[in-house]
């Protein structure tokens, strides 16, 4: 018995029918393309969920108390515990809080080794800002005052002052002040005089800008001057930075180019 000829049946692949589902399951027709509407709804739902999860971001504990009538009690309690843990962690890192005055014999321990961080410490490493100072220079006195302010404001960062002539014999006075940034035993930046920060007009926020650039402070940190001012002040500060900028420092081993005696080379190793 001969097989009867096949009858071609037209199928609308876009229809949502049980027969089409069977054909799709057997690979006879392609799967339906995702609905743009469904994709949009999913994206909106995800965005709303993310917004809900982040609605308390940036709020301190006093702000949270004001929201207790509007927010889920369990969620607020969880968020409080998280914020308390973050505060505790921050306080554990805040172990400096003042400018440390050192001499050459203490340099390696108080600066290089300190910048390595404690063994087993999460992420490791400590940012150490060093001021090679000369009290007779206006910019050095200015940087000393800025260091005093920053040390109290950012106690997780170590600020150190060492007289330049005690660090390196016959160190050129014209190179003072010299600012060096250490992290994990390496020199990240060095600035000879405050020319790159703002010269005689250098302010705390200029140093903070450098701290953000090297990673010592997060740009969203509420303690930063630029995050405390109103919009008009921020615009003025933006113009201030745009005019002068901060040039790239020298990476690697610090070298002032004032000689190559083994004593000076050993000092910065």
Q: pLDDT tens for residues 44-80?
A: 666 666 655 555 555 555 555 555 555 556 666 666 6
Whole-number average pLDDT of the chain: 75
Residue-wise pLDDT tens digits, 122-158: 567 999 999 999 999 999 999 999 999 999 999 999 9
Please list the residues that pair with 102 across neighbouring strands: none
Rounded to whole angstroms, how far apart are CA atoms 269 and 256?
A: 14
CATH number of 94-268: 3.40.30.10
Assess whether pLDDT exceeds 50 at residue 102. Answer: yes
- Indicate the pLDDT class of residue 34, thresholds 50, 70 and 90: low
Query: Residue 100 to residues 111, 152, 162, 182, 240: CA-CA distances in angstroms?
Result: 10, 12, 9, 15, 30
Strand order in the sheet with 186-192: 99-101, 158-163, 128-133, 178-183, 186-192
At residue 134, the 3 state secondary structure works out as coil
For tokens 């002068």, the residue is 244
Residue-wise pLDDT tens digits, 205-236: 999 999 999 999 999 888 888 877 655 566 66
What is the DSSP code string of 202-267?
--HHHHHHHHHHHTSS-TT-TTSGGGTS-HHHHHHHHHHHHHH-------SS---SS---HHHHHH
Rounded to whole angstroms, how far apart are CA atoms 99 and 131?
A: 10
128-133 vs 99-101, strand pairing mode:
unpaired
178-183 vs 186-192, strand pairing mode:
antiparallel
What is the DSSP code string of 6-20?
PPP----TT---HHH
Please list the residues that pair with 186 across neighbouring strands: 183
Please list the residues that pair with 160 across neighbouring strands: 100, 130
Query: Taking a C-beta distance cutoff of 8 angstroms, is the pair 141, 177 a contact?
Result: no
* pTM for this entry: 0.56
Query: Is the backbone of residue 218 left (phi > 0), alpha (psi -120 to 50) or beta?
Result: beta
DSSP H stretches of helix in 94-174: 107, 138-153, 164-167
Query: Taking a C-beta distance cutoff of 8 angstroms, is the pair 140, 177 a contact?
Result: yes
């Amino acid at each position: 018995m001969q097989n009867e000829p096949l009858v071609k049946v037209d199928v609308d692949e876009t229809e949502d029918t049980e027969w089409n589902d069977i054909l799709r399951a057997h690979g006879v027709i392609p799967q339906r393309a995702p609905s743009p509407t469904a994709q949009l709804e999913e994206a909106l739902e995800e965005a709303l969920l993310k917004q809900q999860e982040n609605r308390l971001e940036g709020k301190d504990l006093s702000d949270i108390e004001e929201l207790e009538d509007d927010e889920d009690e369990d969620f607020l309690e969880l968020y409080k515990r998280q914020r308390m843990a973050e505060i505790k962690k921050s306080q554990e890192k805040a172990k400096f809080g003042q400018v440390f005055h050192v001499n050459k014999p203490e340099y390696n321990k108080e600066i290089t080794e300190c910048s390595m961080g404690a063994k087993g410490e999460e992420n490791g490493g400590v940012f150490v800002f060093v001021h090679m100072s000369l009290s007779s220079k206006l910019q050095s006195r200015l940087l000393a005052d800025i260091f005093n302010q920053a040390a109290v404001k950012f106690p997780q960062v170590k600020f150190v002052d060492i007289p330049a002539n005690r660090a390196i014999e016959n160190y050129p006075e014209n190179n003072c002040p010299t600012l060096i940034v250490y992290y994990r035993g390496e020199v990240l930046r060095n600035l000879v005089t405050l020319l790159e920060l703002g010269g005689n007009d250098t302010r705390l926020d200029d140093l903070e800008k450098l701290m953000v650039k090297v990673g010592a402070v997060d740009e969203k940190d509420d303690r930063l001057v630029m995050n405390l001012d109103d919009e008009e002040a921020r615009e003025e500060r933006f113009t201030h930075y745009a005019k002068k900028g901060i040039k790239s420092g020298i990476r690697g081993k610090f070298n002032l180019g004032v000689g190559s005696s083994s004593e000076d080379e050993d000092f910065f190793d």
